[in-house]
Amino acid sequence: MAHYVDGFVVPVPIDKIDAYRTMAEAAGKIWLEHGALQFVETIADDVKPGKVTSFPQSVQLKEGETVAFSYIVYESREQRDSVNAKVMEDPRLKTMMESAAPPFDAQRMFFGGFKTIVELERS
């Protein structure tokens, strides 16, 4: 079954990883409550600058930062659009976004929506 995936790459200050995790856990619960199938946040472990491009270069990584790669899985693009509309209106998310500066540089974040073309799972 094909799914739809929103992917994100974000620079996160190393000293704010715990705050980032806390924010992501709270946000992820909201996305799942509104219908997302899966919400995943990861922090770079084996990510090196490349010669032409790389995760660090893509977000103009600075000293003292690392890269977070995240994705949210949906049934379809239409379902993604519906879920995201509900999430953006959710007062918990609005409060979270208004109450404090995010623990990452949103101006260097990039993201996009993707249709899956291959999905394999161990049975």
> What pLDDT, in 10s, does the model give residues 20-61?
999 999 999 999 999 999 999 999 999 988 889 999 999 999
d(CA 66, CA 84): 27
Q: What angle do CA 88, 92, 96 make, to 5 degrees?
A: 90
Residue 97: pLDDT band with limits 50, 70, 90: confident
Stated pTM of the model = 0.92
Backbone torsions φ then ψ of 22, nearest 5 degrees: -60, -45
Q: What integer pLDDT is reported at residue 32 of this predicted model?
A: 98
Domains of the chain: 4-115 (3.30.70.100)
Q: Per-residue pLDDT for 86 more than 80? A: yes
Task: Compare 118 and 98 and report the one with higher pLDDT.
Answer: 118
Q: Per-residue pLDDT for 99 more than 80? A: no
d(CA 51, CA 53): 6
